[in-house]
Amino acid sequence: MDSLQLLLDGFAGALTPVNLMYALIGVTLGTLVGVLPGIGPAMTVALLLPVTFSVPPTSAFIMFAGIYYGGMYGGSTTSILLNTPGESSSMITALEGNKMARRGRAAQALATAAIGSFVAGTIATALLVVAAPAVVSFAISFGPEDYFALAILAFTAVSSVLSRSVVRGLASLGFGLVIGLIGIDQQTGQARLTLGIAQLLDGVDVVVVAVGLFALGEALYVASRLRHSLPEVVPVGRAWMGRADWRRSWLPWLRGTALGFPFGALPGGGAEIPTFLSYAAEKRLARGVAKEEYGKGAIEGVAGPEAANNASAAGTLVPLLTLGLPTSATAAILLAAFQQYGLQPGPQLFDHNPALVWGMIASLFIGNTMLLVLNLPLAPLWARVLRIPRPYLYAGIVLFAALGVYALNGSVVDLVVLFLLGLLGYAMRRFGLPVAPAVIGMILGPMAEIQLRRALAIGAGDVSVLVRSPIAVVLLLLALAALLTPLVRRAAARPGRKTVDAPDDRSEG
Amino acid sequence: MRKTQWWRPELGLAAVVLALGGFVVVGTLDVSAAASRLGIGPRFFPMLVGGSMIVIGLFYVVDVLRGGRGDPEESEDIDAEAPTDWRSVGLVSGIFLAFTAVLEVLGWVIAASLLFFGLSLALGAEHKVRAAVVGVVLGVVTYLLFVKGLDVTLPGGLLQGVI
């Protein structure tokens, strides 16, 4: 098999001492920052981007792979040991996980989360190895109209799935699209929306947007309504689990992986829906002890969703690497990291830079293993990180946000833009607008524009060129469905019947 | 706090969406469209985005007026019931903007130490000396790590040559 050979080459590249060191630094930093309350995987990646500036591309992406998986790991530790839901993807883990921790089973909850993440991450990364070349060979025939339709699908899906209110999701997307417009038009060289500020000619960097909306927005939001008592952290020793826990965990891990990977690969899928589905499935399948314990801390309710969470993280990489299509905020920032090195993910990337792509995929396997080794014994250390006094924590987050943003261009203008975006991020949090559509809109908007103009140029201005290919038609119909489904559901739910408000049966992608 | 019945703070954000849509449309009027005869010029997409923002903004305003509301995001350190503490928000904003103003004059080490010190006090740190010590340590360590270790450029400012 061709991709197997390439993967082996990737391992050869990733297993050098230097790259192993970068992978280790990546997973350690990723977990450490991911554990910090208030910081999700997306912000972890954005904050750690400057660390990679002086590193050669292949090593940088190996480090990134570690940061990406490490950030996911860190989030689950937070939600098990602190009861307050943090980033939405590990919210479900907190339901059963924290109850387990409170009953004195924190070590087992962390162990099933860590081992489950390892199992799911390994299987899902293997699926990525199989799926990526298949998608690439399919996508190689995509024309600009198909890419444009794909972007539209990503826009509508991410706006309608991530928010309970479609209009708020779309408003967030709009903010991102407007930010993406700022700067010089790539085809004609004309400045747009720069207000005459020279530093804006190059556009607003995605790191500034992500760090502003996530880090500074969060800090301002926390300042506005800080919980003054420190939340209770459940004390924990080394993470481990017994034979009975293994027996109860392995099937939920596999089921969670099966749910997580495909949802992660869909536009707008993300981790929220599969983790919830896995939770619901395990609840329905629970028998005996598990049934009694569900709602009071059942290990199945941690094992399944955690596996789903990590499998979806690997799934997200399929559209990102093969099509250049980010389906989550974290993926959007990873895409920006590629662009920083002048690389454009997509079918061509696999052709032109096989060493980099396969080195990165290989290091996902390596990082995943390192995380398992790192997380089981280090649980008590992570628990201590959770006790950092909040004033220091958020002051530190802002300091690193400022450092990362200033380091991009050495420009104070970026810091002012960062502050304005922080205010926007604060308002979005305050009024329940999801942040991910904005990040995806700003990174994907300029690409959508280029593809649209390219398609219309080929069609000599004839708009029907956009629906000439059957792929584009299908994608646009799916986009429409993504937009209309919540409205239809709401209309259908109106007559009296009370419905669950968690997304339980959305499969429109 | 406005007393008018129909006013809700969220209308402010909806108005921002509307205004931004208008800004995009007006702000790109001066971009000349004569760039290409085939296909479309650099104004088409901004018009599309600006127009959509105006439509979304209108729907948003209607939604808020009809009683729709977004749920404030939950987070580890958020007390969702607490009223907004505008004083803290103002302090944090002021300290950050002050940091922006003095960064290139004072240099990273001093400015970042002050930023950390100010923010941690604004967010309720009780131990002033400890906050100051942590701030200075962070300022120095990040400078050494990023400038000497990772070749990132940060302003030296007053301490240029000393560190």
Tokens representing A303 are 């094992």
* Average confidence score pLDDT of chain B: 85
CA distance, residue A66 to nearest chain B CA (Å) = 19
Nearest CA in chain A to B103: A412
Q: How far is A214 from chain B (nearest CA, A)?
A: 12
d(C-alpha B10, C-alpha B65), whole Å: 10
Top pLDDT among B160 and A63 is at: A63
Q: What is the pLDDT of residue A161?
A: 77
The model's pTM is 0.87
How close A6 gets to chain B, by Cα (Å)?
Answer: 31
Whose CA is closest to A430, among B107, B159, B14?
B14
* A188-192, long-range: CB < 8 A, 24+ apart: A188/B35, A188/B36, A188/B41, A188/B42, A190/B31, A190/B32, A190/B35, A190/B42, A191/B31, A192/B27, A192/B28, A192/B31, A192/B42, A192/B46
Facing residue for B115 by CB, picked from A398, A433, A459: A398
- Residue B75 C-alpha, separation from nearest chain A C-alpha, in angstroms: 5
Q: What is the average pLDDT value for chain A, to the nearest integer?
A: 85
Strands A191-192 and A183-184: antiparallel
Structure confidence at residue A508 as a pLDDT band (50, 70, 90): very low
Mean pLDDT over A247-268 rounds to 90
Q: Which residue of B has its CA nearest to A54?
A: B150
The nearest alpha carbon in chain B to A50 belongs to: B152
The verdict on a CB contact (< 8 Å) between A192 and B31 is yes
d(CA A153, CA A344): 20
Closest residue of chain A to B117, computed from CA coordinates: A395
pLDDT of residue B55: 94
pLDDT of the residue at A362: 92
Render pLDDT for A261-298 as a digit per residue (tens, 0 to 9): 999 888 776 778 888 889 889 888 888 888 888 888 88
Tokens 């929220």 -> residue: A272
> CA nearest A223: which of B95, B1, B87?
B87
Answer whether A392 sits within 8 Å of B120, measured CB to CB. yes
For this complex, say whether ipTM is above 0.85: yes
SS3 content of chain B, % helix, strand, coil (to 5): 65, 0, 35
CB contact under 8 A, A228 and B17: no
Q: Out of A175-184, A222-231, A273-282, which region has the weakest mean confidence (pLDDT)?
A: A222-231
- In the stretch 144-183 of chain A, residues with CB closer than 8 A to chain B read 163-165, 167-168, 170-171, 174-175, 177-178, 181
- Chain A residues in contact with B86 by the CB 8 A cut-off are 224
Per-residue pLDDT, A500: 41
Q: Tell me what pLDDT residue A230 has.
A: 65
Whether B90 contacts chain A with CB within 8 A:
no
- Return the exposure string of A94-119: e unless at least 16 CB atoms fall within 10 Å of the residue's CB, then b: bbbbbbbbeeebbbbbbbbbbbbbbb
Asked if A54 is an interface residue toward chain B (Cβ–Cβ < 8 A), one would say yes
Token pair listed for A438: 């904005």
pLDDT the model gives residue A497: 41
B27 chain-A contacts, CB cut-off 8 A: 192-193, 195
In this complex, is the C-beta atom of B72 within 8 Å of any C-beta atom belonging to chain A?
Answer: yes
Helices (H), B85-149: 86-106, 108-122, 128-143
Of A51, A416, A431, the CB nearest to B100: A416
Interface test with A, best of B37, B45, B58 (most A CBs within 10 A): B45
What digits encode the pLDDT tens for the residues B29-64? 877 655 555 557 788 888 899 999 999 999 999 999
Amino acid at A456: L
Q: pLDDT tens for residues A395-446? A: 999 999 999 899 888 889 999 999 999 999 999 988 888 888 999 999 899 9
Element (H, E) at A197: none
Q: Which residue type occupies B59?
A: F
| pLDDT for residue A499 | 40
**pLDDT tens-digit profile of A82-114?**
865 555 666 788 888 888 888 888 889 999 999
Measured in whole angstroms, the distance separating CA A71 from the mean position of its chain's CA atoms is 10
Per-residue tokens: B145: 């790590």
Determine the 3-state secondary structure of A325 from DSSP: coil
Q: Is A170's CB within 8 Å of B56's CB?
A: yes
pLDDT at position B120 is 94
Q: Which amino acid is at A69?
A: Y
Q: Does B56 touch chain A (CB under 8 A)?
A: yes
* The pLDDT value given to residue A87: 58
Which one-letter amino acid corresponds to residue B56? I
Contacts of A62 (CB under 8 A, 6+ apart): A14, A19, A22, A23, A26, A359, A360, A363
* pLDDT at residue B37, as a whole number: 53
CB pair distance less than 8 Å for B146 and A187: no
Cross-chain residue pair A53–B151, CB shorter than 8 Å: yes
| CB contacts, 8 Å: A195 with chain B | 27
Question: What does the H/E/C string look like for A261-297?
Answer: HHHHHCCCCCCHHHHHHHHHHHHHHCCCHHHHHCCCC
CB contact under 8 A, A415 and B27: no
What integer pLDDT is reported at residue B1 of this predicted model? 45
Residue B115's Cβ-count burial label (10 Å; 0-12, 13-18, 19+) is buried
Query: What confidence score (pLDDT) does residue B76 get?
Result: 65
A403 touches chain B (CB under 8 A): yes
Q: Which tens digits make up the pLDDT trace of A200-215?
A: 888 898 889 988 998 8
Q: Name chain B contacts of A392, Cβ cutoff 8 Å.
A: 120, 125, 131, 134
Distance of CA B25 to the CA centre of its chain: 23
Q: Do A50 and B138 touch (CB under 8 A)?
A: no
